[in-house]
Each structure stands twice: as structure tokens, then as C-alpha cells.
């Protein structure tokens, strides 16, 4: 494979920019400076560095991040730091978060450069389960559970899809509740809007699972790790080839 194609494919720049950088002597292969944009490399065998940063070439990468509050689920933002800034030991410029958690929501976020898997997991047709833990201001009732199971009017054209609401604990003194909720879709601020519709307020929200992927509770907020091969395979299990 041509070195300029490899680097452009990893989004280090446009093909023209990369060619210029190669000619300027910014790229080494197996420690030796090369200046030919058509220089042939074997990604699995050769060690390539760009501006002296070693490039680890695997086609796709998958990270499980425990998102802390205060970070936005995007690759760029003008106001908040992005979740991408938490991934400090990868130089891949083509990673992105799969779906969005609100800036104050914590928990499981998959970060990858696999557009096909992202599309599959987020497709409204697939109804991939998303499980959240939440603290609620207000006493959640069995009637709320029934309402959520029927679908809630949150001001959109159609009510929400049936959601499973489990009451974990209720504290009558502080009038607060802890719940687990399973959604099969991902509308903007969905859980907050569902509780608003029944007169309550979400005060803390954390995603604990998406499809087969479960938050690794040993990751501190802001911590991340590669998915295991088993986790990746399980996520892709029903993906069309």
C-alpha cells in the first residue's frame, strides 16, 4: 500500500497535504526517513511514524469510555471539552463517539472509527437496548412504570416506544427515587423529557449498558479501555456483513 494512501486513510490530512509532509521529511518507515509519497508499505509489518509519532495501524479501534459529567459527546465543541480529549494515549484522528449523551450524563460511551458498527447500533430500526441508572426528584410510582411501558407523549409526533422502568429504591423523607430504565430508541433528552411528562425531574443520569456492552465499573469517570475481542464480537453479532 502507498504510504500517502495509508496516512490519508487514517485522516492525517488530505492526500495533497500528506504528500507535502512526506516530501518535507516528516515520515519514517522502520526508522528511516522516506520522501517518496508512493513508497510501498505493509501496514501489518512496517513501523510507520509521522512527525515522530508511531502509527499503530489496525483498521478499526473500539474503546469503552466511562464518560464524566462536563464533557460533550462530540469530536469538536466551542463551549465544553469533548470526550475525545479524554483519550490521551491514541493518535488516531478518525475516532468518534457512538451516539450522544447529554453533557451532564455519565457512563458508557463507545468510541470507535467503525462507521458501519455505529450506524448499526444507532439505527432507529434496530431498537438496540440502552440501559440507564437515574436519580429522580419525586416519588416514582407503579403508575409511572405502566405509563412508560405504554409510551409517553414528550411533545413529538409519536409517543416514545415502550420503555421498561424499574424502581430500585424510594426515599419518602427526601422525596427522591432511584430507578433503572431501558430504552429502545434515543431521542434528544429522552429520559429527562419522559420524567418531566410525569411531573418529575432527573437529577443524575448514567448509562450502564448499550446492547451487549456493559459499563466496566472498574473504570473511574474519564477512564477508558479497549473493548475485548469478545465484547466487539458480541456487538457485531447481528450486524449484516
Active site residues: 102
Largest CA distance in the chain: 72
- What number of other Cβ atoms are within 10 A of residue 145's Cβ? 17
Q: What string marks each residue from 194 to 223 as x (binds ligand URA by CB under 6 A) or -?
A: -----------x------------------
Is the CB of 46 or the CB of 185 nearer to ligand URA? 185
Nine-digit cell at 231?
Answer: 465484547
Q: Which of 191, 210, 215, 227 binds ligand URA (CB under 6 A)?
A: 191
Work out how close the CB of 236 gets to ligand URA at its nearest, in angstroms, rounded to a whole number: 23
Q: Assess contact for 149 and 165: CB atoms under 8 A.
A: yes
- What number of other Cβ atoms are within 10 A of residue 176's Cβ? 19
Q: Which of 189, 203, 204, 208 binds ligand URA (CB under 6 A)?
A: 189
Closest CA to 227 of 69, 108, 101, 76: 108
Q: Assess contact for 217 and 161: CB atoms under 8 A.
A: no
Span between the terminal Cα atoms of the chain, in Å: 24
Q: Which of 7, 71, 105, 179 binds ligand URA (CB under 6 A)?
A: 105
H or E element in which residue 111 lies: strand 106-112
CA 219 from chain centre, in angstroms, equals 15
The reply on whether position 176 binds ligand URA by CB under 6 A is no
Per rule CB under 6 A, count of chain residues that contact ligand URA: 8
Q: Which of 67, 192, 206, 236 binds ligand URA (CB under 6 A)?
A: 192
Is the CB of 94 or the CB of 102 nearer to ligand URA? 102
Site stretch for ligand URA (CB under 6 A), options 53-61, 87-95, 118-126, 189-197: 189-197
Give the span between the Cα atoms of 85 and 33, in whole angstroms.
30
Cell 456487538, residue located: 235
Is the CB of 34 or the CB of 197 nearer to ligand URA? 197
The reply on whether position 185 binds ligand URA by CB under 6 A is no
Work out how close the CB of 191 gets to ligand URA at its nearest, in angstroms, rounded to a whole number: 4
The reply on whether position 102 binds ligand URA by CB under 6 A is yes
Which residues of this chain interact with ligand URA, rule CB under 6 A? Answer: 101-102, 105, 189-192, 205
Amino acid at each position: 500500500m502507498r504510504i500517502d494512501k495509508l496516512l490519508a486513510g487514517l485522516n492525517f490530512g488530505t492526500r495533497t497535504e500528506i504528500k507535502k509532509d512526506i516530501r518535507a521529511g516528516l515520515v519514517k518507515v522502520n526508522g528511516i526517513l522516506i520522501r517518496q509519497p508512493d513508497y510501498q508499505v505493509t501496514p501489518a509489518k512496517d513501523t510507520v511514524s509521522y512527525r515522530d509519532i508511531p502509527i499503530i495501524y489496525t483498521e478499526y479501534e473500539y474503546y469503552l469510555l466511562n464518560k464524566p459529567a462536563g464533557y460533550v459527546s462530540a469530536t469538536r465543541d466551542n463551549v465544553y471539552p469533548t470526550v475525545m480529549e479524554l483519550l490521551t494515549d491514541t493518535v488516531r484522528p478518525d475516532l468518534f463517539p457512538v451516539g450522544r449523551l447529554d453533557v451532564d450524563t455519565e457512563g458508557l460511551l463507545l468510541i470507535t472509527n467503525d462507521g458501519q458498527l455505529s450506524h448499526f447500533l444507532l439505527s432507529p430500526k434496530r431498537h438496540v437496548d440502552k440501559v440507564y441508572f437515574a436519580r429522580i426528584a419525586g416519588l416514582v410510582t407503579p403508575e409511572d412504570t405502566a405509563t412508560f411501558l405504554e409510551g409517553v407523549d414528550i411533545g413529538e409526533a409519536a409517543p416514545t416506544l415502550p420503555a421498561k422502568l424499574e424502581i430500585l429504591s424510594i426515599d419518602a423523607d427526601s422525596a427522591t427515587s432511584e430507578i433503572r430504565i431501558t430504552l429502545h430508541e434515543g431521542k434528544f433528552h429522552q429520559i429527562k423529557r419522559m420524567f418531566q411528562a410525569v411531573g418529575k425531574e432527573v437529577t443524575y443520569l448514567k448509562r450502564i449498558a448499550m446492547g451487549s456492552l456493559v459499563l466496566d465499573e472498574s473504570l473511574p469517570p474519564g477512564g477508558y479501555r479497549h473493548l475485548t475481542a469478545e465484547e466487539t464480537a458480541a456487538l457485531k453479532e447481528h450486524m449484516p456483513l
